[in-house]
Amino acid sequence: MKKIISTLMISVFFLSCSNSEKEENTQKIKLVQNFESSIKILEWFDNEMPKDEIEYINSLSGIEIMESNVLLSNPDTNAILFFKEDLILFRENVKEYESEYGLNIAFKERKRTANLLSKIQTTNFDTLAIKRALQFFPKGTQLKTDANVYYVLTGWEWGDAYVRNVKKVNGKYKVAETGNPALVFNLSLFTKLYGETTEEQFQTLTNIMSHEIFHFAFNEFKNESTNYPLISDNDYKHQLFRTVQNEGIAHYIDIKKVLITNFSDFEKYQKENFEKLNKAIISFSSQQIGNEDKKKILQCANVGKYWEKYGAICGMFMSYHIERLLGKEAITKTIKNGAESFIETYIELQLQHRELPKLEI
């Protein structure tokens, strides 16, 4: 078996505001990039999909994580096939079969993903992407865990990039509540959605990389931090606030430059999404709305088209206003203190700046 793992050690140095203090904070992220899940499927497509390789493909760690994420992302897990069965059916019936894991897209995009994959393998990610991802963390934060990055070609239709905790259960990688965080990129969705050229797709991937590295670092920071309160999973409102903070800051990092220079172009999204967020908060307190509907409302906070994910988008605008009016340190403080503090910081800010959209808590 070929070992196709490259390791990229990136150190980012932050200087304190006052250079004379010579206070320096070092934050290290070690990216362990796993390409094999993509390479193997591309080879499989090229070699007319040999049956005897299905077992091996199915055993790759990136594939196991991707499969586990698809099963968990679907509300009705019993209705979904395992990836191995999906591969077999796809192989037997390429033209007519509609894969539950997006094998049709992977097959259609295979030439473009091969180009993108080779660009990723031959280019070191700019240290700027890492620096952007870590800009709001407290000084002196140390990240201990390696960031395992998996490049795959299949998965859930909304999962172009995601971070999940994973652990080995009975010799197989599974998405779990606790475990080591893994970053997963579905390259078929990148080539399908993000531009015509490999260069454009690569630029988007670099932006999203900083977004996902933020999640990675934030996951680890929350696990490490004793200040971060644990929240019950049954509490929809608090889960929503966690999404607003976590996805909000990540989306802000992703789009900050464009948002600062062209804010007026985005104002309509701010209005629309705050309306949706306020409605969601009210619905979580309603006795008339059942748990299944509440779960769906919560899921929409961060699933779907970019400007329609009301939790993520409102959090992005909140981060923008908090940094603009209170400074970077105010966001850092909420990273230390949790989702509630992010929401409270915004509510207090809005009381001073009535032109900002109101949050109906």
Please report how close the Cβ of residue 277 comes to Zn ion at its closest, in angstroms: 17
30-38, 128-136, 246-254, 287-295 -> range binding Zn ion (CB under 5 A) = 246-254
Size of interface with Zn ion, in residues (CB under 5 A): 2
User: How does DSSP classify residue 309?
Assistant: -
Sheet containing 147-152, strands listed edge to edge, beginning at the edge strand earlier in sequence: 5-15, 24-34, 147-152, 180-186, 161-169, 172-175
Question: Cβ distance 236 to 270 under 8 Å?
Answer: no
Please report how close the Cβ of residue 309 comes to Zn ion at its closest, in angstroms: 9
Q: Nearer to Zn ion by C-beta: 99 or 273?
A: 273
104-112, 197-205, 227-235, 243-251 -> range binding Zn ion (CB under 5 A) = 243-251
Q: Nearer to Zn ion by C-beta: 247 or 323?
A: 247
Question: Cβ distance 156 to 73 under 8 Å?
Answer: yes
First to last CA, the chain: 56
Question: Cβ distance 223 to 230 under 8 Å?
Answer: no
Q: What is the CA radius of gyration of the chain?
A: 21
48-56, 249-257, 262-270, 335-343 -> range binding Zn ion (CB under 5 A) = 249-257
Q: How far apart are CA 84 and CA 180, in angstroms?
A: 24
98-106, 120-128, 151-159, 239-247 -> range binding Zn ion (CB under 5 A) = 239-247
At residue 123, the 3 state secondary structure works out as: coil
Q: Nearer to Zn ion by C-beta: 86 or 247?
A: 247
Q: Nearer to Zn ion by C-beta: 103 or 187?
A: 187
Residue nearest to Zn ion (CB): 250
Q: Does 209 bind Zn ion (CB under 5 A)?
A: no
Please report how close the Cβ of residue 86 comes to Zn ion at its closest, in angstroms: 26
Q: How far apart are CA 72 and CA 37, in angstroms?
A: 20
Q: Nearer to Zn ion by C-beta: 64 or 247?
A: 247
Please report how close the Cβ of residue 209 comes to Zn ion at its closest, in angstroms: 12
Please report how close the Cβ of residue 1 comes to Zn ion at its closest, in angstroms: 32
Closest C-alpha to 168, from 73, 65, 70: 65
12-20, 71-79, 184-192, 250-258 -> range binding Zn ion (CB under 5 A) = 250-258
The encoded tokens of residue 220 equal 């680890």
Please report how close the Cβ of residue 39 comes to Zn ion at its closest, in angstroms: 26
Q: Nearer to Zn ion by C-beta: 176 or 303?
A: 303
> Phi, psi (5° rounding) for residue 229?
-70, 140
Q: How far apart are CA 150 and CA 66, in angstroms?
A: 9
- Residue from 41, 250, 297, 314 binding Zn ion (CB under 5 A): 250
Q: Nearer to Zn ion by C-beta: 38 or 219?
A: 219
At residue 197, the 3 state secondary structure works out as: coil
The encoded tokens of residue 239 equal 């889960």
Please report how close the Cβ of residue 140 comes to Zn ion at its closest, in angstroms: 25
Q: Nearer to Zn ion by C-beta: 99 or 186?
A: 186
* Number of helices and strands in the chain (H, E): 15, 6
Please report how close the Cβ of residue 44 comes to Zn ion at its closest, in angstroms: 30
Q: Nearer to Zn ion by C-beta: 160 or 247?
A: 247
Residue 283, burial from CB neighbour count under 10 angstroms (0-12, 13-18, 19+): middle
Please report how close the Cβ of residue 302 comes to Zn ion at its closest, in angstroms: 7
Binding site for Zn ion (CB under 5 A): 247, 250
